[in-house]
Structure 1
């Protein structure tokens, strides 16, 4: 699914055999990169580029990262990912309410709770987390 284009390069969420973490694919005939995004914060990071010996310049990769970070493109990426994968890739992670962030289970943060279920509400543009032992879900406005 097309998310956007940047300098003639198509960023897309693939619809078959996708896997966590949420990401888009972008590339040329010489290379392919994956950019990771999240359903709980607005950061975007470069996951990888293959083959490494043909990767584009740092400026090109940073331009792609910044393009995906724009609110409209990030919204489109999240909607496409949710439609294709039906996962926000947060189950079995920890939610640290005090810090307002996701933590890995091995972090064992005091007071952090296990995320038992998670979903994306595209209409309200929110991520919903059901925490172990909690009566109501945590809503993250994106």
Structure 2
């Protein structure tokens, strides 16, 4: 008999929570990027009267702030995409388990004569053998260092 360990349980995954998390990450990324023009406008008004070293420091800090906000937003979108991918993989695994359960149920419902025929002539309905799954490997880019003064 074929070893079908693991098919009796559903995949322990909360698709609703994953969808909410991905949506929140995307919304937070949009909010983070949406702050850039507002803060830049306020900074431009404040910097209009500044001259000298403090004006240059302020402009540099504003550039860093904008760059950080864009990187943070990109990282949140990447995380949302990764959550979506993990959800997709969990759904595929759930479907594989359901197909295996159905095959197992059909095998258990076979009559004696069908079982004898399977023994003598080989099974006509082979167990579902899933394609090998390569788990995703997620890496984070190296952090970008910038002067923070």
Q: Scaled by the length of structure 2, what TM-score is found?
A: 0.20
Which of the two has greater helix per residue? 2
| Structure with more contact order per residue of length (Cα contacts < 8 Å, sep ≥ 6) | 2
Which has more radius of gyration?
2
Q: Scaled by the length of structure 1, what TM-score is found?
A: 0.20
